[in-house]
Each structure stands twice: as C-alpha cells, then as structure tokens.
Amino acid sequence: MTKAHQAGYFLDRDELLQVRSRKLLTSDRDYLYFALQIDYPGKLTPTIDVAGFCDRWELSIGDFYKALGDLKNKGVVEAIASQMNLQIHQS
C-alpha cells in the first residue's frame, strides 16, 4: 500500500462542534456517531457515562437517546442504558 492510500482526515472534538454549530451536520444521529468515534476510537464495547458524554458534546440526554435509537435502527449499535456498555458494529 502506498503512502497516498494511507492518508486520511482526522476529525477532532473542536472541529465536530464547529461543524455542528455551522449547521453543516444537522442530524443528531450522525453527530452522535462521529462523537462516539472520536471519544471511543476502535472500541467495540465502550462504557459510557451518558450525562458526562452529553455535557462534553453539548447534547441533551433526550437527543442522545433519540439519536442512539436511530443508530440502533440502522444496526450501528446494540445496547441502550443510563450507564451503558455500547456495542458498536464495525463495518
């Protein structure tokens, strides 16, 4: 594999918050997906403190669970709880 094929773009928290505030990303489902990828890169079953996560990502707990439900319907995650072990499917 050449170096060009290994190149990538890494999105960090500040940039994702900026993208959301500029309304370039309007879906809470997509926002949550990227936030989970930033906070838990490569983890298949992260344990999440929902309230802390929501504070960090400026997301209401209700919007978190709605977006999480959308991700579950898409087959991206499996578990939902207040102190959760979240199963993220890698594709």
Question: With bands split at pLDDT 50, 70 and 90, how would you rate the model's confidence at 8?
Answer: confident
The CATH number given to whatever domain includes residue 84 is 1.10.10
Flag whether 41 is in a domain.
yes
Number of independent structural domains in the chain: 1
Average pLDDT over residues 8-32: 93
Flag whether 29 is in a domain.
no
Flag whether 70 is in a domain.
yes
Q: Which two tokens stand for residue 36?
A: 């989970």
Residue 1 has pLDDT above 60, yes or no: no
Structural domain boundaries enclosing 82:
37-91
For 37-91, how does the pLDDT look when each residue is reduced to its tens digit (9 = 90+)? Answer: 999 888 877 888 889 999 999 999 999 999 999 998 998 887 665 555 565 666 5
Within its chain, how far is the Cα of 25 from the centroid? 13
- DSSP SS3 for 88: strand
User: Token pair 């992260």 is at which residue?
Assistant: 46
Flag whether 58 is in a domain.
yes
Flag whether 76 is in a domain.
yes
